Structure 1
Amino acid sequence: MSISKGITLITGSAQGIGRSIALRLARDGFDVALNDVPTKGPQLESVATEIKSLGRRVCVVPADVSVDEQVKGMVNDAVTNLGGLDVMIANAGVGTVTSLISSTVESWDHTLAVNARGPYLCYKYAAMQMIDQGHGGRIIGASSLVGKMAFPNNCAYGASKFAIRGLTQVAALELGKYGITVNAYAPGAIQTPLTEEMIMDESGKIDFETLIPDPVSRKWVMSVFENVPIKHIGQPEDIASIVSYLASKEAHFITGQCISVDGGICMS
């Protein structure tokens, strides 16, 4: 086994983007703590087996990221099993597609609990651990294209992903003095089990008609995607590659940023 580049914890790593990030960082030389909700235990164990085959240490730390004590325990378990924490990837999230008027308080609260409170708790407890260790670290969160551009039928999801940008900037300001950088990534349409369920048809294309019933709004959204410079749907590995860089020593002078990985839809 080669010398470890550090220890990383990735939430929502049973599938999709989180799984790809975990495997990429393991290939980069990191030891990995895998998190997802307890019901995804078999998928987590499968990812853990792949990481072991790469010659890296790995542990599984199931938790609901929206629950304070569970996140605290998740970080503690990762530290106990692997010996520290150098990179926190707050990737876990849920998706909802609903208009403002048709949305419910329950769906709003659930989406914000997982997508905004979850990263807040991950940032907080990771920062506390990294400060105690005294040698800096990397904190990276999951925003979205809809955290940079407003899209119809995304009231709760959009609000939660805009929140990540604010959280990331404030954390970057507060944690820089400890040598901790804080950044986020903003994926566009990425082919994952979540997006396939939310926005894609059986052929793997975005199902605009079902996604946006209102024809005026649909026409606008379709024009946005029709004019994207890079036409194909992104893959989880495209997100893993930017996370790999942000987690590296080379990214030490980048903080407070939310980097778009969307084929050129949002260029700011």
Structure 2
Amino acid sequence: MAIDGKVALVTGAAMGIGLAIAKRLAADGAAIAMVDLNGDGVEKAAEELRASGAKVTTFVADVSKRDQVFAAVENCAKELGGLDIMVNNAGIAGMCPIMEITEDEMNRMQAINANSVLWGIQAAVAQFRKAGTKGKIINASSIAGHDGFPNLAAYCVSKFAVRSLTQSAAKEFGAEGITVNAYCPGVVATPLWKELDEEFAEKTGSGEGDTFEAFAAGAVLGRPQQGEDVANQVSWMAGPDSDFMTGQAVIVDGGMVFR
């Protein structure tokens, strides 16, 4: 197993892409710290991993709060003996035309999707330095961090910010042997996209599932993306084969956005 004996922390791990990532990294041999705002949900998800033989701890945190992210990392180090891989996965989405975006909505999107990544980078680097170890930081961006999409401007801004943070952090911490990269999914069949589809239906009059199907149809591989598709990429980023890659925001979307 590629990361046997390593410790990985995954935020937003109760469901969707985060849960898929936690499962895959556990299968790869890592002990997993699962962090989520939904305490009941993350504990239920953790029991599923424990049943497969994985070593798992959970922590409830609002990742938009710096002190709570640091507390999550400290708990991980205490319970699992350290930290080697930080996956800043937690995030939200929201549909809103540019002229209707409110200050509160913009601030909330930025706080959860982008600020949380900054806090995760800071907390992980602090732990790596404390332990005198190298480490890997892996951030959730999106194809919406490469291309702007109509009615998703606030979300796109937050995901472009993650790409910028990833590049800046890679340059700041590379000399310490810390790599920082991002994964950029497309249209993934998760509860988050179900909620987004419902927002489009409410505001545009489209039918249930129509927006998801329309977006997913843009993938040249001809099927909707699954959480496991993203987890496969994160698995490689977490393992030794990616040791010489840093500062990159890699698209895995079935062929929707090309760079």
Give the TM-score, by structure 1 length: 0.89
- Secondary structure of the residue aligned to 2:98 is coil
Letter in 2 for 1:34: M
Distance 1:231 1:211, change over 3 A: farther
Q: Output the CA distance in 2 between the equivalents of 1:249 and 1:109.
A: 37
2:120 alignment partner AA = C
Within 5 A, what are the aligned runs for 1:219-234? Answer: 226-234=217-225
Aligned counterparts of 2:197 and 2:179: Cα–Cα separation in 1:
33
Q: CA RMSD in A?
A: 2.2
CA contact (8 A) 1:143 1:186 kept: yes
SS in 2 for 1:259: strand
Aligned equivalents of 1:56, 1:187: Cα separation in 2:
26
Which of the numbers 56, 65, 69 marks the counterpart of 1:71?
69
Matches within 5 A, 1:231-242: 231-242=222-233
Distance of aligned partners of 1:213 and 1:149 in 2 relative to their CA distance in 1, 3 Å threshold: farther
Q: Alignment identity in percent?
A: 40
| 1: CA distance, partners of 2:218 / 2:116 | 34
Structure 2 Cα separation of the partners of residues 42 and 128 of structure 1: 29
SS class of match (2:125): helix
> Distance between the aligned counterparts of 1:80 and 1:227, measured in 2?
45
Give per-residue Cα distances to partners, 1:40-93, cap 9 Å, x unaligned.
212111221122122221111110011111111111111111110000000000
Count of residue correspondences: 253
Say whether residues 1:14 and 2:14 are aligned partners.
Answer: yes
Tell me which of 93, 110, 132 is aligned to 1:134.
132
Partner of residue 32, structure 1: 32
- CA distance in 2: counterparts of 1:33 and 1:52, whole angstroms: 12
Match of 1:178 in 2: 176
Matches within 5 A, 1:104-123: 104-123=102-121
Moved more, 224-233 or 13-22: 224-233
Q: Indicate if the aligned counterparts of 2:187 and 2:216 stay in contact, CA closer than 8 A.
A: no
Q: Any gaps of 5 or more consecutive residues in structure 1?
A: 201-206, 215-221
CA distance, structure 1, for counterparts of residue 52 and residue 176 of structure 2: 32
- Summarize the Cα distance change of 1:59–1:226 in structure 2 as closer, same or farther, 3 Å threshold: closer
- Tell me what 1:150 maps to: 148
- Contact in 2 for aligned 1:134/1:178 (Cα 8 Å): no
3-state SS, counterpart of residue 90 of structure 2 = coil
Q: 1:234 to 1:97 in 2, by over 3 A?
A: same
1:5 to partner: Cα distance: 2.7
SS at match of 2:21: helix
Distance 1:85 1:211, change over 3 A: farther
CA distance in 1, matches of 2:22, 2:87: 9
Q: SS where residue 175 of structure 1 aligns? A: helix
